[in-house]
Amino acid sequence: MKTIVLLLGIPLLLAGSAILLNRPALLAPPGPWQRLRVYLTSNVAQTASEHAFPELRLALYRQTADVLRGRVIEAMQALGWQRVGERNG
């Protein structure tokens, strides 16, 4: 009996801990059951314009690329990050 509990309990405990430590938005759309299914069966987070998970939808900005670049640099400085490389385009 102890062996069965260990064989079933340890993987469930590890999976549950991994999910909780990553602090997923379980209650956000499309809902906890679909999110759990994806979290436990997928290892890919791909953005798309019509993705079921709002946080993985493509971000669209009304500002120009230069304005956005300036804001990204400001945010990086506020976070104490350093620029190590840069590519045009």
pLDDT in tens, 31-41: 889 888 888 88
In a domain, 88, yes or no: no
For the chain, report the end-to-end CA distance as a whole number of angstroms: 62
CA 67, CA 8: separation in Å to the nearest integer? 53
In a domain, 12, yes or no: yes
Is this structure's pTM higher than 0.75?
Answer: no
In a domain, 63, yes or no: yes
Count how many domains the chain has.
1
In a domain, 75, yes or no: yes
In a domain, 89, yes or no: no
- Which two tokens mark 51? 């993705």
6 SS3 class: helix
Burial class (CB in 10 A: 0-12, 13-18, 19+), 36: middle
pLDDT in tens, 14-62: 887 877 787 778 788 888 898 888 888 888 888 888 888 888 999 888 9
